[in-house]
């Protein structure tokens, strides 16, 4: 079964450093998402992306965050200057169509980011 793949699975970084989390969505999917889950908390929406632009972003997704689809397969999340509170599991997800129609979102296994 097709799956969303994410790298790295775990990254430790120093506060203030830039981090790029990478994702390969399912190949025929057109809608891409990043979610975040702080340890013990809920899965929170960060950003959705379609047709090479952001569809929607949450309040969490401030100027320190950016997303990019640099080629036909990868989808990246960049955190420009990491803070301690950015420590979390980051999930990439994709869907074939918009969530408006009730389309299923498929999640990757996550990238665990630890900021020290």
Partner 1 sequence: SQKIEQNSEALNIQEGKTATLTCNYTNYSPAYLQWYRQDPGRGPVFLLLIRENEKEKRKERLKVTFDTTLKQSLFHITASQPADSATYLCGLPGSSASKIIFGSGTRLSIRP
Residues that bind partner 1 (CB under 8 A): 4, 31, 33, 41-45, 48, 50, 55-56, 89, 91, 93, 98-100, 102, 104-110, 112
* Phi, psi for residue 105 in degrees, rounded to 5: -100, 130
* Phi, psi for residue 101 in degrees, rounded to 5: -90, 5
CB of 116 to partner 1, least distance (A): 20
Both structure tokens of 100: 């408006």
CB of 44 to partner 1, least distance (A): 8
In whole angstroms, how far apart are CA 44 and each of 37, 51, 56? 6, 22, 13
Residue 34 CA to its chain's centroid (Å) = 3
Nearer to partner 1, 15 or 54 (CB): 54
CB of 26 to partner 1, least distance (A): 13
Nearer to partner 1, 18 or 109 (CB): 109
């Amino acid at each position: 079964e097709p799956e969303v793949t994410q790298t790295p699975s775990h990254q430790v970084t120093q506060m203030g450093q830039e981090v790029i989390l990478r994702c390969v969505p399912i190949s025929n999917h057109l809608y891409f998402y990043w979610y975040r889950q702080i340890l013990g908390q809920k899965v929170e929406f960060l950003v959705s992306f379609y047709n090479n632009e952001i569809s929607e972003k949450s309040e969490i997704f401030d100027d320190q965050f950016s997303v990019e689809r640099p080629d036909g397969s990868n989808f990246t999340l960049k955190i420009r200057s990491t803070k301690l509170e950015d420590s979390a599991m980051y999930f990439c997800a994709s869907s074939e169509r918009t969530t408006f129609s009730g389309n299923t979102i498929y999640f990757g296994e996550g990238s665990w980011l630890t900021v020290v």
